[in-house]
Amino acid sequence: MGTIVLCELKKIKIKWWHLLSVGFLLFQASGMLLNSSTMKSADDTFTWIQMGLFSYAYLAVTNVVAIEVILREFINKTASTTFSYEQERWKIYIGKLIAIFIISLMMYAITFCFILVFSIIKTRSTLTSSVIVKHLILTIKAYGYQMLMVTVTASIALACKNYIVPLLYIGIQLVLSFLFLCNPGFRSFIPFPLPVINNLILIKDNYNILDGLSVLPSQVAIAVILFIGGIVFGCVYINRMEVEK
């Protein structure tokens, strides 16, 4: 399995500066709409920038990474070579998922470091170890929740073998994430905003729209079902699909 994961990472041909560039762009995109009055302390800086990252930016980027990892062989017409290896097909799919998890984790880590450096420069006097640990834990939680839902995108890409349908699915996730805030009645059935909810809870006392916000067991249950469903469907489908030569 380790060999498969390494092969998948090599296929993507990601260099360290690619990840740094993506991390910096995500950091900039999430912080550019904020003004200095919003970020009076290191805690505020982490909270607000991470909200932008966890709500929409990471949702889109990690899903695009999943699509690219799954579709690369099909787009390049090299799938027949990949599936000719002496490996069970489901292991190839799991290896691709692990590669997606690793790449996504690296992006989360790099962007966290950018926010940390920014906080040291701008709000150093308020930056404490407790603040760093607090937001590191929030980052790990957000990463875990996001990875629970990325397997469905991977399985959709595998089944469709094109970019259109999985990209539409990303759009659906973004729309539902927006409706999550606007319609409290639907919150228990929409798992996609899970990565950002813990950050939103930090500011919910200041905004009526966030009143009563919490991580609901039904949301977590749906996310786990999506995670397992994406893995099971992908493994079953990849074992049965025909590969064009």
At residue 144, does pLDDT exceed 70?
yes
**Does residue 245 sit within a domain?**
no
**Does residue 183 sit within a domain?**
yes
At residue 143, does pLDDT exceed 60?
yes
Most confident listed range (13-17, 36-40, 73-77): 73-77
Average pLDDT for 144-160 = 94
**Does residue 106 sit within a domain?**
yes
pLDDT band at 210 (very low <50, low <70, confident <90, very high): confident
pLDDT band at 218 (very low <50, low <70, confident <90, very high): very high
**Residues 103 and 65: beta-carbon distance below 8 Å:** yes
Domain count of the chain?
1
Domain with 87, as residue range(s), is 2-240
Nearest to 157 by CA among 72, 60, 56, 226: 72
CA 127 vs CA 6, 69, 119, 132: distances in Å = 37, 37, 7, 7
pTM assigned to the model: 0.86
- Helix, strand, coil % in the chain, rounded to nearest 5: 80, 0, 20
Confidence (pLDDT) at 138: 94
**Does residue 6 sit within a domain?**
yes
Confidence (pLDDT) at 244: 62
